[in-house]
Structure 1
């Protein structure tokens, strides 16, 4: 009975999650973030490659990223991204050019997380109190931190891959039959942990709410399951139908946009599940010192809209009175 009750509760959470997820219009928000991601991707990858490449070499890290991306959206798109990294790299020019180049690199890399933060706040129904210069800088720093988290996770992934390669040689000499199965299982578990950690960091740090890690990780685990499932489905879909073929030379860009678009839909669903789970468990979730419940902002906007409507009505009444006076004058002159 306890298992049945938990399954019923979980199904109820999934239904609430879906209805609220759909109500928040994830389609438009995912399209917006996909657009920003296209311009942020070169800068973001440059920083990730630089962080992880400091220890393993940039060519090794770049090759790993290309291999991973090619599994999702094909070799051509992976090569296009590789070209983005090469073209966005800072060369050894003047000091002033390097400073400006680095500044634009940071601004570009944090753009997608900046927009993702706004979407997360909308899901949690919170809004920033004031967009001061200080808060904008803090948001950019948080977004930059997420970029470095990506670099750190890539570094961890490379370290583990090196360990697994050594373990593979050892197991092959002892039990060659189980080597492949063991390594596939280890790779899956490691990928699951790394991706879950990334989603947990996004759910924990991006929205302007105070949230427990336990709640965050549960939502991140569901998001990872959906992401890995979608990875297979999207990879199969791209491989069989090739949706970017009709766009000719722009097919690589279209596939990148589609990949980010579908990924954002999954991330938003996981974030909405985290919200519903927190409500179900009656966790204490409140805005941080920089935010407030969105209803206050909505009431403020309604008051402004009310004032605008009053002004518009006053203007219409004035124009109508002018029209009535003109009609009266014209009728008098005709008599």
Structure 2
């Protein structure tokens, strides 16, 4: 192929919509300093992890009991971050659960639980405002948006508990159906694939809800779903790569007593960065659709 042919091919490739959106998302990811914002989100997440998980377990426990919900949650976490980090998270939640006293101490712990659980989502709100170029207005309107972010954060924590319930129900239903239909046949792998697809769908819904509702601007759910799906796929693939890395890198051993915390922070950072990349994809799709609508309106006006 000649140099002119290669140049034409490159130009056509760059003009393809998926490539154009990917380049726009990558530029936004760099210019918005998403890697730095991801580090901040990971820091807040580490310290609000215990109250967040306690609230999630409380919601899921209403339906299946605390023991079943706890077993399902930490089984999923163990598959992602390994047994050491999962055990550390379980210890954190256990100590936080037994630290509350009675009377006023219990009431105070509940308030701190809610505030702490919403801290991560508040930091996500700030990061998403940067991604979507949104500034909080001053005065009462700005305070109202701040209050909305806090209330939305608490609602999303409860939503995570509901999604855990849905995941538990679907996983159990798929496993029972697979055993009833296939027994011990190797075809049971179909159930495993279906289970992975359901998990991917639930993760996409959860991430899309975060992208849509947390920023202080209006985001269409269709736009949010595109970025959420990309983030969910990257998250799913990255989960396996992360587990493979941990099995060979020996990070927990390198950091000694703080090894579990180091692994946990690495995973939280990776998750935050992947989420922000999905948000940048949504921002790119949103900008592209807005420009297309503006061009269509301009063309309609000029034809009058």
1:245 to partner: Cα distance: 2.2
Q: CA-to-partner distance for each residue in 1:288-313, whole Å, 9 max, x for gaps?
A: xxxxxxxxxxxxxxxxxxxxxxxxxx
Corresponding residue of 1:12: 20
Identify if the C-alpha distance between structure 1 residues 236 and 36 changes in structure 2 by more than 3 Å, giving closer, same or farther: same
Give the superposed CA RMSD. 2.1
Which 5+ residue runs of structure 1 have no aligned equivalent? 286-335
**1:127 paired residue among 121, 135, 153:** 135
Q: Distance in 2 between matches of 1:253 and 1:5?
A: 43
Matched ranges for 1:7-46 at <5 A? 8-46=16-54
After superposing the two structures, state which structure 1 stretch, 125-134 or 236-245, moved more: 125-134
Deviations 1:49-87 (A, max 9, x none): 010011111111111121111122210110111111111
Residue number in structure 1 paired with 2:8: none
Pick from 136, 152, 164 the counterpart of residue 142 of structure 1.
Answer: 152
In the alignment, is the contact (CA less than 8 A) between 2:212 and 2:221 conserved in 1? yes
Moved over 4 A (4+): 4-7, 131-134
- TM (norm. structure 2) is 0.87
1:185-240 superposed Cα distances (whole Å, 9 cap, x missing partner): 21011011100001100110001111211111111111111111111111111111
Q: 1:278 aligns with which of 286, 296, 302?
A: 286
- Aligned-partner Cα distance in 1 for 2:157–2:110: 14
Larger Rg: 1 or 2?
1
* 1:131 CA drift (Å): 6.3
* Alignment: residue pair count: 280
Secondary structure (helix, strand or coil) at the match of 1:33 reads: helix
2: CA distance between counterparts of 1:42 and 1:131? Answer: 33
CA distance in 2, matches of 1:242, 1:260: 18
State the partner residue of 1:170. Answer: 180
Q: CA deviation at 1:243?
A: 2.2
Q: Distance in 2 between matches of 1:73 and 1:191?
A: 17
Q: Give the structure 2 partner of residue 161 of structure 1.
A: 171
Give the superposition deviation at 1:9.
1.4
CA distance in 2, matches of 1:231, 1:243: 16
- C-alpha displacement at 1:177, in angstroms? 4.0
1:134 Cα shift? 4.3
Instruction: Give the corresponding residue for 1:227.
Output: 235
SS at match of 1:89: helix
Equivalent residue of 1:93, what SS?
Answer: coil
CA distance in 1, matches of 2:225, 2:202: 12
